[in-house]
Amino acid sequence: MSEKIKNILSQENFSKVDLAALLAAGEEDRKLVFAKAAEIKQAYVGNKVYYRGLIEFSNLCGKNCLYCGIRAGNKKARRYEVTEEEVLEAARYAWENKFGSLVLQAGERSGKDYVRRIERLLRQIKKMSNGELGITISLGEQSEETYRRWFEAGAHRYLLRIEVSNPDLYHRYHPKNKVHDYQTRLQSLFLLKKIGYQVGTGVMIGLPFQTVEDLAMDLLFFREHDIDMVGMGPYIEHEDTPMYRYKDQLLPKVDRFYLSLKMVAVLRILMKDINIAAATAMQAIDPMGREKAIKVGANIIMPNLTPSRYREDYLLYEDKPCTDEDAEECKRCLEARIHMAGGEIGYGEWGDSKHFEKRKKT
Ligand code: SAH
Ligand code: SF4
């Protein structure tokens, strides 16, 4: 094994070049990176894994990100919206099964009615669970007022992936117009923090034209913006999207998977006390993908609670896992898998980011 990797891992601070070297680690060297990350995880956040029951509320979307299977321009996508009753039913399931928190995710939409509907739903979930369910939302870019209303209605965490922190690359993966503007997305992260949300962001890994140096910069971006939580996973091509034309230039899926695992591990080494999610897209490549992510640094998992009849229509990418399982089945198999990965489930706990708690105090 290489001395170079060992030396980097013994440092306290990491440059872009160091991080890129860790991300480029080969089969033997990456074991060192994984072991270091596991050690840091144990010391700073322990082996608890927190559940966030995921409800993919709707695949209606006003945007056209060039990589995404539910982009507005994909006329083949069958559009749905989960009914209010069904959301509440899934939320009740999460609450009764001591999941601690929910994530409500959907395509990006705007409009007064929509904002009000989400607000009402948030209040209903809070009321139904006596305020016990924590709520994360991931509903794209919104105005400051909307973010504030949803915060006041009970959402306390927000996930908004920057997708790629390099503005030039960002504009290659998005249509060039003002609804797909890097600065606006970045500004959203500041607004969310100002309002008081725990803020999560993330990137896709293995995009065409992306290098390990770009990924190293993504990691430094998370640190520079003092992010509380990160969710990131491999980019997976989808046939009915413009970016599919680059499919032959991508790394093989298994390499994208290991690159993603290294990103999780290196991020844990860099930001010791944040929450890191084991992304669903990891499981799309490797059936044990999320558990492997937990072993090397992740501490959050998002079991899918979207009612089964909608699941196969929330296809952000190919081979999305668990589209044919119901919640009960998912829960049992997940519990066993997490135990196998040395984790313990934090039932009934919110499992807020320790980093956020510290940030609030200072
Ligand atoms: N509309 C919201 C949330 C839903 S999309 C938003 O865009 O913020 C959730 C995430 O799915 C996106 O942030 C993106 O990182 C991811 N995603 C979309 N298409 C993907 C693909 N082809 N491969 C992997 N992840 C993808
Ligand atoms: Fe819509 Fe989000 Fe997909 Fe972009 S990534 S098209 S905003 S659902």
- Please tell me what DSSP assigns to residue 248: G
| Ligand sitting nearest the alpha carbon of 67 | 1
The single-letter DSSP state of residue 241 is S
14: pLDDT strictly greater than 70: yes
Q: Please state, as a whole number, how many other Cβ atoms lie within 10 Å of the Cβ of residue 349.
A: 15
Quick one: DSSP state of residue 56? E
Atom of ligand 1 nearest to the CA of 67: 22
pLDDT above 90 for 326: no
Q: Residue 113 CA to chain centroid, in angstroms?
A: 27
Residue 323 has pLDDT above 70, yes or no: no
Under the banding of pLDDT at 50, 70 and 90, the label for residue 315 is confident
Instruction: Tell me, using a 6 A CB cutoff, whether residue 235 lines ligand 1.
Output: yes
Residue carrying structure tokens 């409009």: 111
With a pLDDT cut of 70, the percent of the chain lying above it is 97
Q: Where are the beta strands (DSSP E) in the chain?
A: 48-58, 101-106, 134-138, 157-159, 198-201, 204-205, 229-234, 275-278, 300-301, 344-345
**Ranges of each domain in the chain:** 18-361
* Protein residue closest via CA to atom 16 of ligand 1: 316
Sign of CA dihedral 7, 227, 342, 204: negative
The 3 state secondary structure assigned to 216-235 is HHHHHHHHHCCCCEEEEEEC
Q: How confident is the model at residue 240 (pLDDT cuts 50, 70, 90)?
A: very high
pLDDT in tens, 103-112: 999 999 999 9
CA distance 35 to 7: 14
pLDDT in tens, 19-78: 999 999 999 999 999 999 999 999 999 999 999 999 999 999 999 999 999 999 999 999
Torsion 35-36-41-44 (CA) sign: positive
* Alpha-carbon span 192 to 187, nearest angstrom: 9
The pLDDT, as a whole number, for residue 138 is 98
Q: What is the DSSP letter of 43?
A: H
Q: Does the pLDDT at position 325 exceed 90?
A: no
pLDDT tier for residue 92 given thresholds of 50, 70 and 90: very high
How many A from CA of 218 to the centre of ligand 1? Answer: 16
Q: Choose one of 56, 59, 61, 79 to mutate for the ligand 2 pocket test, by most ligand atoms within 8 angstroms of C-beta.
A: 61
CB 50 within 8 A of CB 346: yes
Inform me whether the pLDDT recorded for 357 exceeds 90: no
Does ligand 1 come within 6 angstroms of the Cβ of 204? yes
Average pLDDT of the residues of the chain: 94
Atom of ligand 1 nearest to the CA of 241: 22
CATH architecture of 18-361: Alpha-Beta Barrel (3.20)
φ and ψ of 129, to 5 deg: -100, 20
Nearest CA residue ID for atom 6, ligand 2: 71
Q: Kindly give, in sequence order, each residue whose CB lies less than 8 Å from that of residue 209, ignoring residues fewer than 6 positions away.
A: 169, 172, 249
